[in-house]
C-alpha cells in the first residue's frame, strides 16, 4: 500500500510540472531530480510571423475603430520578404463589414497602400475571419483582428529607413445605427539593412 501512495505522489509531481502547477514539497529523492532538468527551449517564430501586439490604443463607443500598421520583421535585407500587418480593434457591440464577403447595405472594408520604390507585393491580402451579421445577410469583423500582406524587398531598395503609407476605410455600426464611412491614415516603418 505504501508503494502505491509513493507512486501516486510522484505521478502528481510530474503531472503538476507538465501542467505548470505548483508542486507540493515531497521528501523523496525523485523530487530533486525533477528540479535539475534543463528547460526545453521553444523555437523562435519565423521572421514573417506576426507575433506580439501592435496596437496600444483602446477602442471606445466614441471611437469604435482604432488601427495601427507594422512591418514584420522591421529590418530586412534586399531580396527578403516582410509582412505588412494592420491590427484593428473594434469596440464591444460594434462591427465593420468584411473586405471580401457579402456586406448587405454596408460599405465593405478596404485597404489601400502605396508601396515605395524597391518594395513590391509578394501575395494578396489575407483577411481575418468574419462573423455573420444578426439582422442582414452580411459578413462582419468584430473584436481585435489583423489584415496581412506579404511584401518583398527588391534589389532596388536602398539601405536605410523604409516607410509605407496607406489607409483603412470602413463603416462602423452597432445594433442601432451605422456611422458614415471613415478612413484611417496609417504608416508602417522599417529598415533595409545591408547584408553582412
Strand order in the sheet with 119-121: 65-72, 81-90, 144-153, 119-121
Q: Where in the chain is the domain with CATH 2.60.40.740?
A: 65-193
The reported pLDDT for the residue numbered 160 is: 95
The reported pLDDT for the residue numbered 132 is: 80
Q: What is the mean pLDDT of each run of 10 residues along the chain (196 residues)?
A: 41 38 36 35 39 80 95 95 97 95 88 96 96 78 96 96 97 94 97 86
What is the CATH number that goes with domain 65-193?
2.60.40.740
The reported pLDDT for the residue numbered 103 is: 82
How far is Cα 84 from Cα 119, in angstroms, rounded to an integer? 11
Residue showing cell 530533486: 32
The reported pLDDT for the residue numbered 134 is: 64
The reported pLDDT for the residue numbered 51 is: 58
Amino acid at each position: 500500500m505504501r508503494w502505491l501512495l509513493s507512486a501516486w505522489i510522484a505521478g502528481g509531481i510530474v503531472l503538476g510540472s507538465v501542467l505548470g502547477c505548483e508542486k507540493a514539497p515531497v521528501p523523496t529523492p525523485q523530487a530533486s531530480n525533477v528540479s535539475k532538468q534543463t528547460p526545453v527551449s521553444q523555437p523562435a517564430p519565423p521572421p514573417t510571423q506576426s507575433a506580439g501586439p501592435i496596437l496600444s490604443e483602446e477602442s471606445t463607443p466614441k471611437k469604435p475603430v482604432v488601427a495601427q500598421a507594422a512591418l514584420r520583421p522591421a529590418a530586412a535585407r534586399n531580396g527578403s520578404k516582410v509582412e505588412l500587418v494592420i491590427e484593428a480593434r473594434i469596440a464591444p457591440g460594434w462591427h465593420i463589414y468584411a473586405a471580401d464577403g457579402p456586406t448587405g447595405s454596408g460599405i465593405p472594408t478596404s485597404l489601400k497602400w502605396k508601396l515605395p520604390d524597391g518594395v513590391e507585393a509578394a501575395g494578396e491580402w489575407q483577411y481575418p475571419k468574419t462573423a455573420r451579421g444578426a439582422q442582414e445577410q452580411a459578413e462582419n469583423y468584430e473584436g481585435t483582428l489583423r489584415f496581412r500582406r506579404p511584401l518583398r524587398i527588391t534589389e532596388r531598395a536602398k539601405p536605410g529607413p523604409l516607410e509605407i503609407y496607406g489607409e483603412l476605410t470602413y463603416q462602423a455600426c452597432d445594433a442601432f445605427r451605422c456611422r458614415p464611412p471613415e478612413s484611417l491614415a496609417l504608416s508602417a516603418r522599417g529598415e533595409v539593412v545591408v547584408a553582412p
